[in-house]
Amino acid sequence: MSGTSHHEATERASMTDYVATDAPPAAGAHLVDDFTPSLLDIGEHSLCPGCGEPIAMRAILEAIEAVGAVSRAIGVIGIGCYTAFSNNLDIEVLQALHGRAPSLATGVKRAKPDTLVLTVQGDGDMVNEGLQEVLHTAARGENVTCFMLDNGVFGETGGHMTATTALGQRTKNTLDGRDAAQHGFPIRLSTLIADLDGAAYVARGAVNNAGNVARTKKMIRRALETQEAGLGFSFVETPDAPDYLTSTLAPVHAPGVLKDVRA
């Protein structure tokens, strides 16, 4: 019996995986696997480096698969940077007017109650352009799921202030930071929705690190499961920005589950 320990054997085996760098490789690099989600036709995008929207979109698509609703899913897409994904999603997609996605989703769900209906909107689209749409949809307890990709600015049109921009946050039209006296206070949409009786599940996640991504994936799936159970309106907000902006938004829009009627 060899005197080599299991640890030593494993270490020696792993050493053979290293590629020498003192000479050109014997074989060229190759793609190990294509990790593009199966419901996303093209993984490439033109969004800003560090943007978390692709991560959030991936999590939504994976959750649709996880709840077994691929053939029944209908996405209603708002107006923003994320709209570019609408041509690449391998589910049924409807394009809404600016801010009106929750109302369009309401019509779809009432006409086809067996479908899984979800909206994807940014903070500018949902809170500035369509605040009454999402609030009334939640207040009626419509059995749809709305996702808000919150980066605190109108990203597609240059990066100016939205209704969720935090106090002190610099944008294209708040160069010295958002000031309450001049610009008003930020709207905490998740908090507003959680107080409505028609809302069954409300959560605010983040996608700026692996731990937050894992927690946000659970929130997204829980929201879709809430709809599948017919319990009413469900909502997940995700600040989709680099760490420096997440640290600015987090004190105002704190992550966590705000309401879960199934808990």
Domains of the chain, each with CATH number or no CATH: 51-260 (3.40.50.970)
Average pLDDT value for residue range 243-256: 76
pLDDT at 54: 84
Give residue 121's pLDDT: 93
**Closest C-alpha to 73, from 234, 183, 224, 249:** 224
**What pTM was estimated for this model as a whole?**
0.82
Asked if pLDDT for residue 152 goes beyond 90, the answer is no
Residue 114, pLDDT > 90, answer yes
* pLDDT of 216 higher than 70: yes
Q: What is the mean pLDDT of residues 226-250?
A: 84
Residues ≥6 apart with Cβ < 8 Å to 115: 72, 73, 74, 108, 109
Average pLDDT for 165-191: 89
Q: Return the pLDDT at 162.
A: 87
CA distances from 101 to 25, 94, 107, 122, 138 (A): 52, 9, 10, 11, 13
Report how far apart, in Å, the C-alpha atoms of 46 and of each of 51, 53, 129, 143, 150 are: 10, 11, 24, 33, 18
Model confidence at 1: pLDDT above 60: no
Identity of the residue numbered 111: A
- Residue 257: the pLDDT is 95
On whether the CB atoms of residues 106 and 118 are closer than 8 A, the answer is no
pLDDT value for 80:
86
What percent of the chain shows pLDDT beyond 70?
A: 87
pLDDT averaged over every residue in the chain = 86
Residue with structure tokens 């010295």? Answer: 176
Q: How many whole angstroms separate alpha carbon 51 and alpha carbon 81?
A: 10
In this predicted structure, the answer to whether residue 142 has a pLDDT above a threshold of 70 is yes
Higher model confidence: residue 150 or residue 66?
66
Q: What is the mean pLDDT of residues 189-194?
A: 96
Q: Determine the average pLDDT of the residues in 163-191.
A: 89
pLDDT, tens digit (0-9, with 9 covering 90-100), for 6-49: 555 555 544 556 667 788 877 777 766 666 777 777 666 677 77
* DSSP strand pairing (233-239 vs 199-204): parallel
